[in-house]
């Protein structure tokens, strides 16, 4: 694609990067076939190619974002399916992040939209605040039929059972059982610690059982992806910097083999820290080190796979594996989770149209509830055709999005692996 930036514009590192991304695009349109919003709406401007044109015009003109640009960028899920499909290697992830930053800096949203986004950015990355907000939502949940749109979506997504905080989600060290074979830091997440603390509990049990010491580092918090996808890059960088400092302190103290992440959306973002801090003299090398250490839990477990044996009870279960977009497109991880489940004795099926997003996408199912609902229903239909006893996935957002709509329980992959190696049976399996 031909671009027309001035030399002054190209002196900006973000514009220079955007220019390189735009020039890699050859207009082929392969991305349209796998874009969930284009497949659903049929509007060229709701495809990656259409959004690329809109952002190109906006950046070249050095113009504030328009309502048209905001509408179509807001509808993007950042599922990154287009990056898997693209034959030219267009880094749409970095381009749309730049577009969202520009929108945040140059466009004034309607009051209610600004207020909701501010509330989500203020609450979800902070577990105590998020828990308080959900407790309030639980009181309003019986009256959710009176609400519509985004408020109704928020109430529908509120878990019916809000348990106490888990004792594993505070800074501490969990010793390996037997001979120590490795030492890792665990990103325990923000929303996940509130809505699905059993994931971290299962992860820690599984890793320590396999001889790995697990550290929950002092000072660690939200990965920064949620506010990054809202265009709030300063807040995102502050959250990421806190994590970098916390993890590298542990690395310096006793070494780390990996930073294990069991929420694939977070993993995609942490693996991108090196790029995000590339112009930060104080953090560039440190961020690159963290990105190098970052590993999805399935990637790390794959190095311990010989320790996972076939599990007798697994053979009676029909497991459908739902690959989160951030797993298969963001991190290009496709085989490891399924291979681990098969090694544990589970029979695995995959739904049709597995490349399409379920509609969760961080806060997308709140900010774009109608589109998210259509994508969820399409995904549920495809999963139901596999007649599962249980659905396994590697992202808490997908679990929340699909859980209430499926007849079968939705669990994290590590919950099944923990059960297979001596842990408790996952909730919902009887």
Mean pLDDT for 135-164 is 82
pLDDT of residue 306: 62
Q: Which two tokens stand for residue 213?
A: 């010491």
325 phi/psi in degrees, rounded to 5: -60, -40
Is the confidence at residue 154, as pLDDT, over 90? no
Residue-averaged pLDDT of the chain: 94
The answer to whether 120 and 337 have CB atoms below 8 angstroms apart is: no
Is residue 392 classed as helix, strand or coil in its secondary structure? Answer: strand
Overall pTM surpassing 0.85 (yes/no): yes
The Cα-based distances of 102 to 64, 106, 390 in angstroms read 8, 6, 42
H helices of 61-160, in order, are 67-74, 81-85, 92-106, 111-123, 127-140, 149-157
Q: Is 260 helix (H, G, I), strand (E, B) or coil?
A: strand
Q: Is the Cβ–Cβ distance between 257 and 299 less than 8 Å?
A: no
Architecture of the domain whose range is 7-106: Orthogonal Bundle (1.10)
Query: Tens of pLDDT along 354-374?
Result: 999 999 999 999 999 999 999
- Neighbouring residues of 234: CB distance < 8 A, sequence distance ≥ 6: none
Per residue in 67-90, pLDDT (tens digit) is 999 999 999 999 999 999 999 999
- For domain 308-420, give the fold: Rossmann fold (3.40.50)
- Number of residues that this document lists for the chain: 430
Max Cα separation, the chain?
66
Q: Work out the average pLDDT over 108-136.
A: 94
**Is-contact 106 67, C-beta < 8 A?**
no
d(C-alpha 320, C-alpha 358), whole Å: 14
The pLDDT assigned to 314 comes to 76
Can you name the residues that pair with 259 across neighbouring β-strands? Answer: 185, 294
Q: What torsion, rounded to 10 degrees, do the Cα atoms 238, 240, 243, 244 define? A: -100
Measured between its terminal Cα atoms, the distance across the chain in Å is 56
Can you read off the two tokens belonging to residue 129? 């605040």
Instruction: Confirm if 247 and 292 have CB atoms less than 8 A apart.
Output: no
- Phi and psi at residue 185, to the nearest 5°: -100, 140
**Three-state SS at 96:** helix
Q: Which residue has the tokens 């990996």?
A: 258
Helix (H, G, I), strand (E, B) or coil at 414: helix
Q: What is the SS3 assignment for 395?
A: coil
Using the structure block, give the residue that is written with the tokens 């348990």.
163
pLDDT digits (tens, 9 = 90+) for 172-193: 999 999 999 999 999 998 999 9
């Amino acid at each position: 694609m031909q671009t027309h930036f001035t030399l002054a514009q190209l002196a900006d590192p973000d514009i220079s990067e955007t220019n390189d991304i735009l020039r890699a695009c050859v207009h082929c349109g392969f991305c349209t076939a796998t874009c969930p919003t284009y497949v659903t709406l049929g509007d060229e401007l709701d495809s990656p190619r259409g959004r690329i044109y809109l952002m190109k015009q906006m950046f070249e003109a050095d113009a504030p974002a328009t309502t048209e640009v905001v509408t179509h960028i807001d509808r993007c899920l950042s599922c990154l399916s287009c990056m898997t499909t693209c034959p030219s290697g267009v880094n749409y992830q970095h381009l749309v992040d730049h577009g969202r930053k520009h929108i945040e800096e140059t466009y004034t949203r309607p009051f209610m939209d600004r207020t909701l986004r501010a509330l989500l950015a203020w609450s979800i990355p902070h577990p105590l605040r998020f828990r308080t907000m959900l407790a309030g939502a639980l009181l309003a949940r019986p009256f959710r039929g009176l609400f519509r749109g985004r408020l109704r979506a928020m109430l529908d997504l509120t878990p019916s059972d809000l348990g106490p905080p888990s004792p594993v989600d505070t800074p501490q060290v969990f010793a390996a059982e037997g001979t120590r074979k490795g030492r890792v830091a665990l990103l325990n997440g923000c929303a996940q610690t509130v809505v699905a603390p059993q994931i971290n509990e299962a992860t820690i049990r599984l890793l320590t059982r396999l001889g790995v010491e697990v550290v929950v580092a002092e000072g660690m918090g939200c990965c920064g992806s949620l506010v990054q996808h809202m265009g709030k890059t300063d807040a995102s960088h502050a959250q990421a910097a806190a994590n970098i400092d916390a993890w590298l302190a542990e690395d310096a103290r006793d070494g780390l083999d990996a930073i294990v992440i069991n929420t694939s959306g977070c993993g995609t973002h942490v693996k991108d820290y090196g790029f995000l801090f590339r112009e930060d003299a104080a953090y560039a090398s440190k961020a690159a080190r963290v990105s190098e250490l970052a590993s999805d839990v399935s990637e790390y477990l794959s190095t311990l796979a010989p320790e996972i044996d076939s599990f007798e009870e697994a053979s009676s279960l029909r497991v459908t594996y739902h690959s989160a977009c951030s797993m298969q497109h963001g991190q290009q991880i496709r085989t490891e989770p399924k291979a681990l489940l098969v090694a544990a004795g589970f029979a695995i099926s995959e739904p049709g149209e597995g490349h399409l997003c379920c509609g969760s996408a961080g806060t997308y199912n709140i900010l774009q509830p109608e589109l998210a609902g259509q994508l969820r229903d399409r995904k549920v239909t495809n999963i139901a055709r596999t007649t599962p006893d249980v659905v396994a996935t590697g992202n808490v957002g997908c679990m929340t999005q699909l859980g209430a709509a499926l007849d079968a329980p939705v669990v994290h992959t590590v919950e099944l692996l923990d059960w297979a190696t001596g842990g408790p049976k996952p909730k919902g399996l009887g």
